[in-house]
Structure 1
Amino acid sequence: MLKLIIRSMRLKQWTKNVFILAALVFDRQLNNLDALINTLIGMLLFCLLSSSVYLINDMVDIQADLKHPSKKHRPIASGKLPMPIALITALALSLSSLVLSYWLSPTFAIIGGVYFILNLAYSKWLKNIPIIDVLVIACGFVLRVAAGVFIIGVERFSPWLYVVTTLLALYLGFGKRRAELTLLAQEANQHRRVLDGYSIPFLDQLITIVSSTTIIAYSLYTFTAPSLPENHVMMLTIPFVLYGIFRYLFIISVKKSGGAPEEIVLTDWPLQLSIFFWGICVIVIFYSNQISSIFQ
C-alpha cells in the first residue's frame, strides 16, 4: 500500500520545485548555511504539498484517466489505491506541510496556501478552460519562485526572473498540450476536455511567441539586471538557454514526445547537459570570489 501511495505522490514531479532554489542561487546566498537549510526545508514542504494536490487531482480525474492509454494504470484510476486512503493521505500531506510552512515563514505558508487553493480550482474547473489552464500552471511556477524569495529574504533578486519563469512555464505548458494533442489524436477531448479548445497550428503559434519572448526576456536580464556583474559576463549563459529551448521544441515537434516535461528533464541527456553547463556557468559567475578563495 505504501508503494502505491508513493507512486501516487508522483515523486518525478518534485523536480518542478527546484524553482524554489532560484532566490538562493541568484541572490548569491548559496554559501549562507542558514538560508540553504531553510530553502531545502521549504522545498521539501512544497514537494509534500504538491503531492497532496496530485492525489486530489487523480481522485477528481479518475473517470478521464480510465480512458487514457497510460494514466489508466495509475494506482487510483486502476483501483489499486482505495479512494478513502488517498483522501486521508492528501489531507495529511496538505495540513502538515502548511502548518510546518508557517513555522518556517508565515509568508511562505500563505504562498503555499494560495498554491494549494489555486490547484484545487484548477483540478475542478480551470483545467477545462483553454489558455487559462496553462496560465494557472505558469502561476504555480511563479509561486514557487516567490516562496523561495520569502523564505530567506533577498537583496539582489531581479524581477526579471519572475518574467523569465512565467514565460518558460508557458512554453513548457503549451508544449505539453501539443504533445498530448499529438499523442491522443482524434480522441484527445475524451481524455482531457480542454484539448478540444486547442489545435496544432494554434499551439505552434503560442509556442513560437512564448519561446521567443523567453529568449528575449532572459537575454535582457543578463545585461540589464543591476545585481549582475558589470562586465555582462552573464550573457555567456544565453547559448545554453537557447539550446535548451530548441531541444525541447525538437522533442515535441520532431520526436512527438514531451507530454511529461519532468520525465524529459530526467531522461533526455542533451537537455540535461545544457542545464548542467548553464548551472555551472551561473555558479562560477556568481560565486567566483568564493571559489577562488578556496584554492588560495
Structure 2
Amino acid sequence: MTSLQQRPDVVLRTSRARSLLTLSRPQQWHKAIMLYAAPAAAGVIDQPNALLRATIAAIAFTLLSVAIYALNDVRDAPDDRRHPTKQHRPIASGALSPRAAIAWAAITSAAGLVVIAQLGPATSGLAVAYLVTQLLYVYGLKHIAVVDVIAVALGFVLRAAAGATATGVPVSNWFLLVSLFGALFLVAGKRRAERGASTADARTRPVLAAYTAAWLDQLTTVALLGTCLSYGLWAFQYLGDDVYRQLLTVSFLPFLTALLRYGFLVSTGRGELPEHELFRDRVLLVAGLSWAALLGVGLYLA
C-alpha cells in the first residue's frame, strides 16, 4: 500500500524532471562546440590539458545558456501559447510554473559561474559578459530590429573567445572575424526562414515584422562575404609552407562551397534549424566533412 501511495509522487518528480530537461533545450547544447574552436584552430585540442579546460568551459557556458532559455520561456509564455508548436513548451503549457523555471535559472547560472571561475578571471569575465548580453536580449534587445541579430551573433563570439582564454591560446583577429560573420550568416538565414515560414512566427516574434526580405538577403550577402574573406585571409597565410600546412589553403574551397550551399538553401525557404540542414543536405554534409578533414590534417600533421 505504501508503494502505491508513493507512486503519484514518483510520477510527479519524473514529470517535473522531464519538464526541466525540456526547458533546458538539450537540442541547443551543441552550440558549446564554439568553446573548442580556438584551441582546435591553434592545433592544441589534442593536448589533454587543453581539451579538459575547453570541456570545463563548454559545460559552464551550457549551464549559463540553460538559465537564459528558462528565463526566455518565462518571458515569452503568453506569446508561446499562441504558437502552434511553442505552446507545448513547459511554461506555456502549464507543465512547469514560472517560479520553478526562475529557480532553475538561478541554480544553473550560479553553477555555471562557479564552474567557469576555475578557469581564471579572463574566462570568467567573458562568461559574465555573455550572461549579461543574453539577459539584455531576453528582456528587451530581442524586440529591436538589427540589435537582436547582433546580440545573438555576439553570444557565439563570446563563446569562441572564452575557449581561447580558457586554454591559453592567442586569439587572432581573423578568428574573431570568422566567428562574428559566420554567426551573422547563420542568424540571418534563420531569420529569413522564420519570416517566410508562417504567420505564427511573426505573431509570436514581433521583430520579424520589422524585417524585409530584401534587407535579410542583404545581411546574408554581407555576412557571407565577411566570413569568406576572413577565413580566406587566415587560410592563405599558410601558402608556401610545408605540404600539410598548405592543406589549410585548400580547405577554403569546401568552406566556400558549404557557405554557398547553405545560402542557396536559405533562399529556398530552409535554414530555420541550421544544425538540421547539415545532415539533411548531402552537398552540405560532404563539403563540411571535407573541410574538417583538410583542416585537421593541415593543423595536426604539419
Residues in 2 aligned to 1:70 and 1:125: alpha-carbon distance in whole angstroms: 23
Residues in 1 aligned to 2:125 and 2:81: alpha-carbon distance in whole angstroms: 35
Give the deviation of 1:112 after TM superposition: 0.9
Residues in 2 aligned to 1:236 and 1:279: alpha-carbon distance in whole angstroms: 11
8 A contact 2:63–2:108 mirrored in 1: yes
Residues 161-180 of structure 1 mapped to structure 2, 5 A cutoff: 161-180=175-194
Q: Which amino acid aligns with 1:178?
A: R
Segments of 4+ moved more than 2 angstroms = 228-233, 260-277
1:61 match: secondary structure:
helix
- Is residue 2:47 matched to residue 1:32? yes
Instruction: Show CA shifts across 1:148-198 (max 9, x none).
Output: 01101114x42201001100111111111111110124x554211111210
8 A contact 1:188–1:196 mirrored in 2: no
| More off after superposition, 114-123 vs 74-83 | 74-83
Match of 2:272 among 232, 235, 259: 259
Match of 1:42 among 31, 40, 57: 57
Question: Against the structure 1 CA distance between its residues 63 and 169, is the aligned structure 2 distance closer, same or farther, given a 3 Å change threshold?
Answer: same
Question: Against the structure 1 CA distance between its residues 267 and 79, is the aligned structure 2 distance closer, same or farther, given a 3 Å change threshold?
Answer: farther
TM-score, length-scaled by structure 2: 0.88
Aligned match of 2:233? 220
Instruction: Show CA shifts across 1:202-244 (max 9, x none).
Output: 1111111211221122111111379x86964311111221122
Match of 1:242 among 231, 256, 281: 256
TM-score, length-scaled by structure 1: 0.90
Q: Which amino acid aligns with 1:25?
A: A
Q: Which amino acid aligns with 1:127?
A: K
Q: Tell which has more relative contact order, 1 or 2 (C-alpha 8 A, sep 6+).
A: 1
- Percent of counterpart pairs with the same letter? 33
Unaligned segments of structure 2, at least 5 residues: 1-15
Question: Against the structure 1 CA distance between its residues 261 and 212, is the aligned structure 2 distance closer, same or farther, given a 3 Å change threshold?
Answer: same
Give the deviation of 1:26 after TM superposition: 1.2
Aligned match of 2:210? 197
| More off after superposition, 232-241 vs 111-120 | 232-241
2:198 match: secondary structure:
helix
Residues 79-118 of structure 1 mapped to structure 2, 5 A cutoff: 79-118=94-133
Residues in 2 aligned to 1:63 and 1:247: alpha-carbon distance in whole angstroms: 37
Q: Which amino acid aligns with 2:46?
A: N
- Is residue 2:144 matched to residue 1:129? yes
Question: Against the structure 1 CA distance between its residues 199 and 106, is the aligned structure 2 distance closer, same or farther, given a 3 Å change threshold?
Answer: same
- Is residue 2:158 matched to residue 1:143? yes
Unaligned segments of structure 1, at least 5 residues: 290-296
Instruction: Show CA shifts across 1:244-284 (max 9, x none).
Output: 21222232222x22222233345545433332221221111
